[in-house]
Structure 1
Amino acid sequence: MSITGEQASKLHQLRQPTFTELYMPKLVTVWREGYGLADLRADVFAGLTVAIVALPLSMAIAIASGVTPDRGLYTAVVGGFIASLLGGSRFQVGGPAGAFIVLVAATADRHGVDGVILATFMAGLFLIAAGFLRIGTYIKFIPYPVTVGFTAGIAVIIFASQLRDLGGITLAGKEPSEFVPKLVALAGGLNTINPSAIVVAVVSIAIIAGLRRWRPSWPGILIAVVLAAIATAALSLPIETIGSRFGGIPRELPSPALPAFSLAKAKAVLPDAISFALLAAIESLLSAVVADGMTGRRHRSNCELVAQGAANVGAALFGGICVTGLIARTATNIRAGARGPLAGMLHSVFLLLFMVVAAPLASYIPLAALAAVLVVVAWTMAEKQEFATLLRSSWGDAVVLLATFLLTIFRDLTEGILVGFALGAVLFIHRMAEMTGIEEHSPLVADDRPDDGNGERVRYDSGLAVDRDVLVYRITGAFFFGAASAIGGVLDGIADKRKGLVVDFAAVPFLDSTAANVLGRVAAKSHRQGIRLFITGASPAVRRALLTHGVTPPLARYRETIERAVADIKAAPGVNASAVDEPVG
């Protein structure tokens, strides 16, 4: 039994998931499948493991973002809990991300911490709206060179942002947030380098790298930070710590409160809020895809966007910064044996307990050690092998990659993503247009033309045609605006003496309005010249598009096969077969 395109479309519509299926949190799904004591034990262990990793990272990211370390912890505790509670991925872990360092630091520099919190709140609302509008389905269309380019660019910027604390450099004024001015300012302060800070940073990096290689199951980041804090306190090293710069961290969460709001402030931070939402959507869905690949599960992209939006709103209410799904912590969660979203929720609970119990000890953590942590993060996230592979793969991918990479570093992250996406789209259109072709076709030999020995069919020899008045063209590939001009030029060159023209659409899976309009012009020209135009092999969807754009009798007639169209053209004028169109399938 054959199924027409229209019937297939109706069946697809019948299979569309319901609202509940789209937005049901994975926590509910896991609970319905059966959740036992063994699962709970596994999630407790996984949550504790991730919390140990997240504790120093959350503070380090907050400091690098130009805010106090406690705001990073608030983000991980509140935002991470909500993201796992409502999320569309079983294993996603949310919190502050290194990718946001550039955006948050720039926003804090322009609008203050209040501006960051308001932008985070607004970004959360945008993400919720995007989820309910089902925009999450389309995030996957971002080209791979764009994601690699902006990730590598962010890694470079993170590294540059840590140079001050790595070397214990003292600057006369505020450190610039832009890349080039930052490097210039740091170069001017090289004479203030603190050898003790460099030693602490280098030893911390060595400990993290060594433990990753020889003891990968150990919490290398936490061990390095703790040892650095002990050494700094025991040796009274003259370097900056969390306590000397920020006065420590609180032992409890603040009371929730709405961000300071005014229309002028909201308008001012709107571009930053859009950037936060865009990056949070990309980062969280990429992380969910990675988790799917590691576990064989499937996440709900739009549900995940709604959850990340709610997490950002919640974090902002408690004075936190941007929240997103985190690839490194999500992967750690999976490797630690997590069974469901409860692991991510418990990671937030453990972080809160660490704040309550160990907050006074955080004052002794040297900033050089936290800078070392972010340097390792930047090195890991740079995707160096993928970057090199894309540079070698093709000139188009290399252009998209480098444009995104350089714009992210020297201009703006959002600009880098948008320009990279635009270049990727143009490259795709160019490639699709090259794949679309039109060739003169013999109604006698059809697809039985001989092979040239290399797997290619021999080009049509016009001498084989019996009737010189019949011209047959076959279009192959997607007939869209990128190829419409070239194909339209060929069809417009029809000789005036031709009796009939057949255009075969059997190998055209898709036709857009530009292509339909081009064919409409060809049909009108053929009709004026007395040339009978027949369209063959068009699918129901293609035929409907052509009819909508005026490619209708008597300008053009539709047949199922080339042979039928040629027979009708050869028939004497007035034959009924030539005046009746076959029904639309």
Structure 2
Amino acid sequence: MSASSWSPRALLPSRDDYRGLRRSWRGDVVAGITVGIVALPLALAFGVSSGVGAEAGLITAIIAGLVAAVFGGSDVQVSGPTGAMVVVLAPIVVSHGVGSVVIVSVLAGVIVLAAGALRLGRTVSTIPWPVIEGFTVGIGVIIFLQQVPSAVGVSGAGHSTNAVAAAVESVMGADWPEALLPLATVAVVTVIMLLLGRVSGRLPASFIAIVVVTIGAALLGVPLATIGELPHSLPLPTFPSIDLGTLSGLIGPAFAVAALAAIESLLSARVAASMSDTGPVDADRELVGQGLASIASGFFGGMPATGAIARTAVNVRSGARTRVSAIVHSLALLAVVYLAANVVSVIPLAALSGVLMVTAARMVSPTVIGQVMRSTRSDAVVFVVTAIITVSFDLIVAVGIGVAVAAFFALRSLSTASGVHREELAGAPEPGDERIAVFRIDGSLFFGAAERILDRIGAHDGVEVVVLRLSHLQLIDATGAHTLTELVTALERRGVTVLIKGIRPEHRTLLERLGVIDSLRHPNHLFVDLEPAIAHARSHVGRTAAAAG
């Protein structure tokens, strides 16, 4: 969509969102119910793991999933609580308390909404693939480590916000051998999910595993910690109370959550678009939808939401064609709240940990890791650095540093691909040609390469005329243009006449503004073609020789 044809209406729902619904509604309904079954244990588990409770995870899946489905920019995206968001929220809960999540959800939603309104959706395409994969692996490792306390029957182990430290504290502080019971539960869930995954990828393995373990624990009377009582209806929306002191302390976390929500949602939407032919993704509208989803979720006491890659993939594979499937997914979860809250409340927490551990392990793909590590050395470094920083420090910092490292290697590669070459003069040799130097500058003349390239030109002695060929120059920035001006000025000061040939139209304005052309001895020293430039250089050398004679 061109800038001239774009209007704010493009960010709003329309009848076109449901084109083809008459033909696809049955498939959409089936897909929505399927995704709802898959989403139920994940929503509960992510709510518990983040520290805000299973109720908040369920509310987020219902409210945010519905709002994002209606207002988002993808026809098949499914939104709700995700593992990556849990990784960010858990430290916020530890530092600021459970009540802070509602405020962070609303603030982050406003930020994401503003990003969509400002049409910043396309910026996610600037994130390199090794950064995304390193980020994903790091998230998988953190989610797995976050489940260790529940897996060994420890609640609230220590106060560390670092997943590695918290996992170690939990294992050291567990009550052995009683901890073997929740560990066995995790093992049973893992085995069931892996076996069902081998039988058929369409089976809701996590849902079946939780049902089996919950029934087994109840029949055998196994003493396991459970989710606990859940509400039998949705709470009424309320505006969170915010004071300036609390607000100032949560602005930073809100921006981190917003950045993650935007990145993960747009990546998920891109994956969905590559899996189906339901139409392109409107990145800006997707941000608007996700922003509204997090705001609405916060008003109902939920968590910030993002597009969920795994649930979106299940939605597409189940035959979804329109956003009705994501709407049905939310309604199916709503039915659970009103009809089955008592049943859900007896699910063992260790069973949810098992589900998340398997989910986290599947995020770490040995095939993808092998592909990245075998690609190039710089990409492998970017991948490893991003993954390590994600696990050790912070998700958003990891993405920022990963992009910075990737940019460094890209600039270094671009710099080494740029060069300057001295060329032989065309035509039959003439007396004085040895005092003429023709240099062709290739590639890019930017801050990373300017000094190196131009030092080679300035190092030639015994030359009276230098011809600079710029027609092969693809990119030049302010540093390159400024350095070029300094070179021309220095050569002219040494008595070397500089001729410039072939300035590209897109570079001319910059070169004029930074004085490259004005630094030439005469306006006639600017040429379009090489032959007249060589002829002028030879004439200049001839006149100089005659004057010396």
* TM-score normalized by the length of structure 2: 0.93
- Which residue in 1 is equivalent to 2:530? 562
Matched, 1:37 2:3: no
Ranges in structure 2 where 5+ consecutive residues have no aligned partner:
544-549
- Report Cα offsets for 1:231-255 as digits up to 9, x if no partner: 1111111111112xxxx21121111
- RMSD (CA atoms): 2.3
Rounded to whole Å, the distance in 2 between the matches of 1:438 and 1:259 is 62
CA drift at 1:197: 1.9
Rounded to whole Å, the distance in 2 between the matches of 1:361 and 1:27 is 39
Rounded to whole Å, the distance in 2 between the matches of 1:563 and 1:250 is 85
Q: What SS does structure 2 have at the residue aligned with 1:293? A: helix
- Is the CA contact (8 Å cut-off) linking 1:71 and 1:320 kept in structure 2? yes
- Report Cα offsets for 1:560-584 as digits up to 9, x if no partner: 2222211222235999xxxxxxxxx
Which of 461, 481, 505 aligns to 2:447? It is 481
CA drift at 1:137: 1.5
- Which residue in 1 is equivalent to 2:547? none
CA drift at 1:79: 0.7
CA drift at 1:170: 6.2
CA drift at 1:445: 7.2
Rounded to whole Å, the distance in 2 between the matches of 1:351 and 1:465 is 89
- Is the CA contact (8 Å cut-off) linking 2:150 and 2:350 kept in structure 1? yes
Which of 430, 446, 471 aligns to 1:506? It is 471
CA separation of 1:61 and 1:424: change in aligned 2, threshold 3 A: same
CA drift at 1:162: 0.9
CA drift at 1:18: 2.8
Rounded to whole Å, the distance in 2 between the matches of 1:442 and 1:254 is 81
- Which residue in 1 is equivalent to 2:7? 20
- Report Cα offsets for 1:405-424 as digits up to 9, x if no partner: 11111222222222212111
Which of 230, 237, 247 aligns to 1:256? It is 237
* TM-score normalized by the length of structure 1: 0.87
Q: What SS does structure 2 have at the residue aligned with 1:552? A: coil
- Which residue in 2 is equivalent to 1:188? 172
Amino acid at match of 1:251: H
Rounded to whole Å, the distance in 2 between the matches of 1:259 and 1:107 is 17
- Report Cα offsets for 1:441-485 as digits up to 9, x if no partner: 123179xxxxxxxxxxxxxxxx99971222111111122111111
CA drift at 1:51: 0.7
Amino acid at match of 2:57: G
Ranges in structure 1 where 5+ consecutive residues have no aligned partner:
1-13, 447-462, 576-585
Q: What SS does structure 2 have at the residue aligned with 1:145? A: helix
CA drift at 1:26: 6.9
Rounded to whole Å, the distance in 2 between the matches of 1:239 and 1:372 is 14
CA separation of 1:202 and 1:573: change in aligned 2, threshold 3 A: closer
- Which residue in 1 is equivalent to 2:502? 537
- Is the CA contact (8 Å cut-off) linking 1:444 and 1:465 kept in structure 2? no
- Which residue in 2 is equivalent to 1:409? 391
Rounded to whole Å, the distance in 1 between the matches of 2:309 and 2:272 is 8
Amino acid at match of 2:535: A
- Which residue in 2 is equivalent to 1:294? 275
CA drift at 1:314: 1.0
CA drift at 1:19: 2.6
- Which residue in 2 is equivalent to 1:457? none
- Which residue in 1 is equivalent to 2:373? 391
Which of 302, 310, 335 aligns to 2:317? It is 335
- Is the CA contact (8 Å cut-off) linking 1:26 and 1:86 kept in structure 2? yes
Rounded to whole Å, the distance in 1 between the matches of 2:64 and 2:276 is 24
Following superposition of structure 1 onto structure 2, how do residues 124-523 of structure 1 map, counting pairs within 5 Å?
Answer: 124-169=109-154, 174=158, 176-192=160-176, 193-243=178-228, 248-296=229-277, 297-444=279-426, 467-495=433-461, 497-523=462-488
Q: What SS does structure 2 have at the residue aligned with 1:510? A: strand
Rounded to whole Å, the distance in 2 between the matches of 1:473 and 1:28 is 61
Matched, 1:62 2:47: yes
CA drift at 1:201: 1.6
Amino acid at match of 1:30: D
Divergent runs of 4+, >6 A: 463-466
- Report Cα offsets for 1:160-219 as digits up to 9, x if no partner: 111122232467x54533234313312322443433322222111111111111122221
Rounded to whole Å, the distance in 2 between the matches of 1:226 and 1:17 is 54
- Is the CA contact (8 Å cut-off) linking 1:106 and 1:177 kept in structure 2? yes
CA drift at 1:128: 1.4
CA separation of 1:219 and 1:551: change in aligned 2, threshold 3 A: same
Amino acid at match of 1:121: V
CA drift at 1:319: 0.8
- Is the CA contact (8 Å cut-off) linking 1:22 and 1:300 kept in structure 2? no
CA drift at 1:370: 0.6
CA drift at 1:21: 8.1
- Is the CA contact (8 Å cut-off) linking 2:226 and 2:345 kept in structure 1? yes
| Alignment coverage as a number of residue pairs | 538
- Which residue in 2 is equivalent to 1:528? 493
Rounded to whole Å, the distance in 2 between the matches of 1:63 and 1:519 is 61
Rounded to whole Å, the distance in 2 between the matches of 1:416 and 1:17 is 37
- Is the CA contact (8 Å cut-off) linking 2:138 and 2:390 kept in structure 1? yes
Rounded to whole Å, the distance in 2 between the matches of 1:386 and 1:558 is 52
Rounded to whole Å, the distance in 2 between the matches of 1:45 and 1:201 is 30
Rounded to whole Å, the distance in 2 between the matches of 1:130 and 1:467 is 60
CA drift at 1:25: 5.1
- Is the CA contact (8 Å cut-off) linking 1:252 and 1:355 kept in structure 2? yes
Amino acid at match of 1:367: L
- Is the CA contact (8 Å cut-off) linking 1:23 and 1:88 kept in structure 2? no
Q: What SS does structure 2 have at the residue aligned with 1:468? A: helix
